[in-house]
Amino acid sequence: MVQPQSRASHRIFIERVLIVLAIGGLALLVWALRGLLILVFGAVLFAVILRIIANPLRERVGLSEGLALLLAILFVFGLFGIAFALFGAEVIRQSQTLSETLPQAWTVIEERLAAIGLSGPLQQWLESLRSGPGGGVLSSLSNVLVSVSQALTDTILVVVGGIFFAIDPTLYRRGVIKLVPEEGRARIAQALDDCWTALRLWLLARLATMAIVGLLTGLGLWAIGIPAALTLGLLAGLLDFVPFVGPIVAAVPAVLLAIASDPASALWVVALYLIVQQIEGNIITPLFQKRAVELPPALLLFSLVACGFVFGIAGVLFAEPLTVVIFILVKRLYVRHALQTATPIPGEEKKVGT
């Protein structure tokens, strides 16, 4: 006859096994849906942008919630529409110039390398990229270009999802809080509020930085005499959203065009991009980060690599804001609550010592 104590121990063992299996299954589900999860985060980020615009209209102007959000949506789409109306034709013309000039520039570069005996090693290196593990860099790039329709679909999903999130953010906030046991709900609510504040401050700082970088780059390329300076400046501003990688990618077409036309001007282009990045890193970013979120550079670098590995291209795009959220959650829930250690939280009126 089985003793009651033995039955209880068996039941506890089975319950623990089931819990482990449930956690493992949940982890596998999250991994399988990681592409969708990063799009959800993108939608949340777009909702934050809309609320940044709508909240002042509601609080300071006195508009209703719905009208303020509607004006915010119209403002965002109107901003893109006005920008396209003002610069669209010129950007399209310069983009066509780039598409026609870059292959010619690459041919000229190959001819110049062949003249000094470096064409063969270059071709071998390019071939190794094409046939490298995982398809290589060039294969990955071609896959990105082929999947434009998928990227457009994802963008629409992020925009529409962001609008739904922005319409009633408290609904989704309450839903997340209810997933936590009652004794921890106050802390989770505070952590979500901290994440909202940090994302808002980070977005304002990042958008201002992108605008300044794009303006300085475009003006510098125009002064040097590089064709399609407007398009290249816009590209530099947009790609500055992605730390480390974005500025390098933005500089490649400008350097190629400069090498093809005048190798001496290529040095000026490289110097321009380096100077702009130095201005951003040493003046612009520290100035804005005083009121935003200051992420350690090494943490940001490795999070960029990790997000790219886990989520792909979308992970690279959203690596920095995702790191901001994780950074704030660790500060609030682990450092402050679990370790009982004082640490500053962005947006708090009264900072505590580190």
pLDDT digits (tens, 9 = 90+) for 93-108: 666 666 666 666 666 6
Cβ atoms < 10 Å from Cβ of 322: 20
Q: How far apart are the first and last CA of the chain?
A: 61
**Confidence band of 213 (pLDDT split at 50, 70, 90):** very high
pLDDT at 187 over 50: yes
In this prediction the pTM is: 0.76
232: its two tokens: 């290249």
Of 234, 167, 162, 171, which Cα lies nearest the Cα of 203?
Answer: 162
> Two tokens at 147?
């999947």
Which range of 112-116, 145-149, 296-300 scores highest in mean pLDDT? It is 296-300
What is residue 226's predicted lDDT score, i.e. its pLDDT?
Answer: 82
Rounded alpha-carbon distances, angstroms, from residue 145 to 140, 151, 313, 316 = 9, 10, 12, 16
Given a cut of 70, whether residue 301 has pLDDT beyond it is yes
Between the alpha carbon of residue 276 and those of residues 96, 127, 209, 264, 283, the distances in Å are 26, 33, 11, 19, 10
What is the arithmetic mean of pLDDT over 176-181?
88
pLDDT confidence tier of residue 138, bands split at 50, 70 and 90: very low
